[in-house]
A and B are shown apart, each in its own frame.
Chain A
Amino acid sequence: MNQHYKQPLQRSAFYARMEAANVLAEWGNWGGYVSALAYDDHEMEYTAIRNGASVYDLTPMVKYSVQGADALAYINRLCVRDAAKLAVGAVHYTIWCDDAGKILDDGTLFRLGADDFLVCCQERHLPWLNDSAFGYNVTITEVTEEIAALSLQGPCSANVLRAMGFAIDTLKPFRMVDLPFEGGKLRISRTGFTGDLGYELWCDPAHALALWDGLMAAGAPWGIRPIGTHALDMARIEAGFIITNMDFIPADQALREDRVRSPFELALDWMIDWDKGHFNGRRALLAEKAAGAKWALVGLDIEGNVSTEGSIIYHDKKHEVGHITAAIWSPTTKRNLAIAQIKRPYDDAKSGNLWVEVYALRELQYVKLMLKATPTKRPFFNPARRRATPPGQF
């Protein structure tokens, strides 16, 4: 008998260890999986990302395998970036759009072989991926449940892997390697969502607990600890990364006509390869390029130390010109940071007089603040250790 209704959320292969470690019992739903929001103290967890080593359960990330003779041509018709430039064993960040050039999702594309790709993303897209495959010799399979994945992030993450006996010194950012593990293999990619040195580890769910235990044992000298989504979110804002359904609404889910966003409007147009041939949304994007986009995505530096999540942005304290999609008082940069969607040209030419309206809760009482905001470059935090190969000894 199917008992799924008794357990509406899926448990990842790491769940037994996660449950034991989660003294706060703070859980959330990520893509149908139980996901830890925090284990014991999300600020200490954040500190592990920036100063030690951290482990985050990545299993709920939606994963599609794309295989077949036309896999490259298919990926190139699907996504805006040119996958022909992606070497086997390499990874890149990419996005895909609907016919109107509005973004459906972003994700990472792993080239496992000449005709073998893995797409990792936030939302589920199988109907879209299959419809886009009409006329292409490819097989698209959702493999989310077949792969157990952990994100190992932090300046000491390379040392943890070294301590486990993995030879990762030559592994460059956005590259991956398969190494023997538990009689099978562990795929290690030098990728992550923290803007720091880090790795993502992919294995057979049967080896999941061994991987967790191995990391915790080997990482103990560097204070390794499991982290939840709250800590990760702090790190990703410092890194300037965006999340689907947090910083933008995917075009296929948007109910309001004006909520959809193009690559130009999310500062992702640098990925578009206009010369690779047709890709989905290309004609609409060309038209938008010529006509100009309506919105812009910017990083903001805001005065004071009150976090501005969800706040509305005004020009000259009067006219509404945008809103904050993610914000944090950044412990590492000691700046009050935000990611915002702003109507053009207030992102640039008219960005000199921007104010954020914040309702700060102070002991059960809201205080209204108007804080000066200044567009600033992303990433807000971008340490050299993230890129150094071989990775440093910390």
Chain B
Amino acid sequence: MPSFNHIVIGAGPNGLACATKLAQSGARVALLEAGAGVGGGAAGYEFAPGYPTSLAHVLHALDSRVLHGMALEDHGLSYASRDLDTVALAENGAHLTINGASLSGDGAGLDREAYAVLHAKLVDFARVLAPFKALSPPRIARGAGNPMLKLGQLGWGVRRLGCKNFREFLRMILINIADVLEDDLSDERLRGALAFDATLGAWLGPRSPNSLILLLNRLASSGAGKPAALTLPAGGMGAVAAAMQKAAEAAGVSLHCNAKVTKISVRDDRATGVVLENGDEYFAQNVISAINPKTTLLGLVGPAHLDTEFLRRIRSAKSRGAAARLHLGLKSAPDFRGADLKSRLLIAPGVNAVENAFNAVKYGEVPKAPVMEIIMPSAHEGGHAPDGKHQLSAIVQFAPHDPKGGLEAARKLMLTNALAVLERFAPGIGKLVEHSEMLMPQDIEARFGMVGGNWHHGELAVENMLFLRPTYGAAQYATPLPGLWLAGAGSHPGGGISGAAGWNAALRILSGKGAV
């Protein structure tokens, strides 16, 4: 009868971060992973022989507390690129290169000044919002035990944007990205790139309300210590998972793979442990779920232990994934009309191109011309493809989470349409394809346990952030069931290969504050 202080369910980045932080306090921690290996969205797998990949392919949101607190660089994390350029591809070869506030390439002068102003403003907003990510969300109630001093400081930080920028902040915080782009910029390549970034991983189009805040959320992240930088870990995302695993084990976490939890045990109205698929039962004072909140509460705990309204909110929490993953094994390097393959390539030719790609999924359809983010890991280093060959890894948007013609037909059409778009921007690429894999949202759900295929384990949208994530009553990581905590991407501040939710949850548990 193994017994621990804490059991953490799910060895994705959040589970690993949470378990490590708890173990570092001296507690006995078990980390239970259903799969054969750790990492969740960062876990490495081969989509074809000799082509390793993972669900996530860019490291841009890793929480700096996790990076340093787990000493990931000491445990093997290094970078193939610490600061990827983004190239907004043009069909005529006149590409625009973007990095932070700087623009280069053909016609980059058109928006250079306007973009510098807009970028500076958005970065300012992101800077004052970023610290909220590292907090347990406050609770909107009197006497809720909120860290008022800390919140006051953060609020003061927002106010200190200055009169003009504070007014701009209030004007823009809930605005849609398309309006901002069309007000301030004129280069469709740049507009398309920013519209794409704002809606990446969301179930929103650039004209959907509240889409700007997701861009701010991206800008509030950092890569390799640089705000909003995009990095590629050496050896791929699987190497991040491996470094986190080493850090967890070094902290004394007892890691069990192939240990699928089928039930959270409840005795005397308290979570007391878990039951595994093989019938083993583990006991602990705290059970911390870093997997999907719906799966945890509706499945592992079950409705008998939860109240009706709370269940209703969990059940109706939106979790629609709209991002598909495309992996191609290529005979040789493709040519995106001269674009640097070591950059992050975007095919998002304009705000309307992104919006039109989103329109289709509202009706359960596959867009004719999806937009996408392309990484060529094999252009950076070996090991991502057999010698002489190349791997193309793309996030293709938008894909219907519940296609009306069925999954098989939708997946096939998505691949056809994605290849047709690629052919326009990289003529001849179709003939180079030796292997291909298209993961639709339903595939992502089946393989990674992300409900609806949403990689945030619940849509990241304004109505689902902070104290509303996954819903009130569970937004401070504690659930209504004593002893049960949430620590996954479904909790604040959301997903990505970040570990922030897991780290926050661990801090909350260690603080001794339960459900206030």
Task: Show the binding face of A for B, using Cβ within 8 Å.
Answer: 73, 77, 98-99, 128, 131-132, 134-136, 277-278, 280-283
Contacts and interface: CB of A to CB of B under 8 A. Distances in A.
Given A134-B315, A135-B303, A136-B303, A278 B308 contact: no
A280 B305 CA distance: 9
A134 B480 CA distance: 17
Contacts of B310: 99
Contacts of B298: 135
Contacts of B482: 283
A281 B315 CA distance: 18
15 contacts: A77-B303, A77-B304, A98-B307, A98-B309, A99-B310, A99-B473, A131-B311, A134-B308, A134-B311, A135-B298, A135-B302, A135-B304, A136-B303, A280-B307, A283-B480
A73 B480 contact: no
B304 A278 contact: yes
Contacts of B311: 131, 134
Interface of B: 269, 298, 302-312, 315, 473, 480, 482
Nearest to B311: A134
Contacts of B312: 131, 134
Contacts of B473: 99
Nearest to B312: A131
Contact of A283 (B269, B302, B303, B315): B269
B309 A99 contact: yes
B269 A132 contact: no
B302 A131 contact: no
A322 B256 CA distance: 60
Per DSSP, chain B at the interface is helix
Contacts of B309: 98-99, 131
Nearest to B309: A99
A128 B312 CA distance: 10
Contacts of A136: 303
Nearest to B298: A135
Given A131-B311, A131-B312, A134-B311, A73 B269 contact: no
Nearest to A135: B303
B298 to A, nearest CB: 8
Nearest to B316: A131
A192 B308 CA distance: 30
A232 to B, nearest CB: 32
Contact of B307 (A73, A135, A277, A281): A281
Contacts of A128: 308
A99 B307 contact: yes
Nearest to A132: B308
Given A282-B269, A283-B269, A131 B480 contact: no
Contacts of A283: 269, 307, 480, 482
Contacts of A134: 303, 308, 311-312, 315
B472 to A, nearest CB: 11
Contacts of A98: 307-309
B485 to A, nearest CB: 16
Contacts of B305: 278
Contacts of B315: 134
Given A278-B306, A280-B307, A280-B308, 4 more contacts: A73-B304, A131-B312, A132-B308, A136-B303
A161 B227 CA distance: 84
A278 B301 CA distance: 12
A136 B309 CA distance: 16
A307 to B, nearest CB: 39
B322 to A, nearest CB: 26
Most buried by A among B303, B307, B480: B307
A277 B303 contact: no
B330 to A, nearest CB: 48
A278 B302 contact: no
Nearest to B308: A132
Given A134-B315, A135-B303, A99 B308 contact: yes
Contacts of B304: 73, 77, 135, 277-278
A132 B305 CA distance: 11
Contacts of B269: 278, 282-283
B404 to A, nearest CB: 26
A280 B307 CA distance: 5
Contacts of A135: 298, 302-304
Nearest to A281: B307
B513 to A, nearest CB: 15
Enumerate the 8 nearest inter-chain pairs by beta-carbon distance, A residue then B residue, closest first: A135-B303, A99-B307, A99-B309, A132-B308, A131-B312, A280-B307, A131-B308, A278-B305
A282 B309 CA distance: 13
Most buried by B among A77, A98, A99: A99
A369 B303 CA distance: 54
A241 B271 CA distance: 39
Nearest to A129: B308
Nearest to A274: B269
